[in-house]
Amino acid sequence: MRIFLADISATRKLGITLAQSLNAGNVILLEGDLGAGKTTLVQGIGEGLGITDPIVSPTFTLINEYTQGRLPLYHLDLYRLESNQVPALNLETYWEGIEVTPGIVAIEWAERMPYKPDSYLSVRLSYGDEKTRQMEITPHNCVLSEEIVTRRM
């Protein structure tokens, strides 16, 4: 499913809407060029979950954990890693809720993952004309909420 986003505000609003339909254990794998809106979407998800802390890209920390919302949000960024370094992060502990409280897992630069969870939303962001963005959302062994499917930004 492809969604056209008029501006950064539309990207954030879509994240808010998406958050309202997410459940503990949901994984969002984000791909797209630098500046395409991956972090902006995650900021909207955080806002939709009721997280009040500023959500920033974990490019240098790799993982930021936000636990005060409706559900915890685990925001990961694999930009600085090579695919062969990713397994050492034991990412499955986040989506399986093994060592952390089950929550939402959002992973930027997910194309660097050598393995994926059984169920996830694949989100690819790209530039459109001028300041617009396009988002392609593909569910894998999960379902998108009707509100997302019918929403137009």
Closest CA to 50 of 19, 24, 18, 12: 19
Q: Using CA of residue 10, residue 128, residue 150, residue 39, what is the dihedral sign? A: negative
pLDDT at 153: 43
Q: What is the pLDDT of residue 142?
A: 84
Residue 78: predicted pLDDT: 94
- The pTM assigned to this predicted structure is 0.90
Instruction: Give tens-digit pLDDT for 6-57.
Output: 888 999 999 999 999 999 999 999 999 888 899 999 999 999 999 999 999 8
100-134 pLDDT per residue, tens: 999 999 999 999 999 999 999 999 999 877 778 88
pLDDT at 146: 63
CA geometry: angle 143, 136, 44, nearest 5 deg = 80
Identify which of 59, 61, 63, 62 has the alpha carbon closest to the alpha carbon of residue 72. 63
